[in-house]
Amino acid sequence: MKNEFAVINTGGKQYKVSKGDVIKIEKLSAKGGPASGWKVGDKIVFDKVMLVEDGKDTTIGTPYIKEAKVEATLSEIGRNKTVEVIKYKQKSRYFKKYGHRQPWFKVTISAIK
C-alpha cells in the first residue's frame, strides 16, 4: 500500500485524508433542490483539493489542483448535541433562549484521483 494522502477543503475547514479514512464534516448544501437531498450511500466528489501526495510526488495547488478529485461515500447523517444561546438583560424583563443543533455528515474516503 502506498503512503498516499490529500488535503481537501470543505465546510470552511481543511482535512488531511487518505483512502479508507472516515471523517466527520459539515453538512453539504443541497444537491439540486431546496431539501437536503442527501441519503446514506450517496457518492460525494470533493473537487477543492489543495495538496496530493502519492508517495513519490507532491502536488500543491494555487489554491486548488484543477484535475484532482477525492471520491467519498456518505455513511452517516446526524446532528450534534444542543447548544443553548441565552440573551438576558437585567432589570428589563428581557430573556430569550434559543437552541441549535449543528448537522454533520460522516463520509468514508474511497479514492484519490
Domain assignments of the chain as residue spans, ordered by start: 5-112
**What is residue 3's predicted lDDT score, i.e. its pLDDT?**
83
Grid cell at residue 37: 437531498
Q: What is the pTM of this model?
A: 0.82
**What is residue 61's predicted lDDT score, i.e. its pLDDT?**
93
Residue type, 71: E
CA distance 29 to 23: 17
**What is residue 29's predicted lDDT score, i.e. its pLDDT?**
85
**Length of the chain counted residue by residue:** 113
**What is residue 33's predicted lDDT score, i.e. its pLDDT?**
57
pLDDT less than 70: residues of the chain: 1-2, 31-36
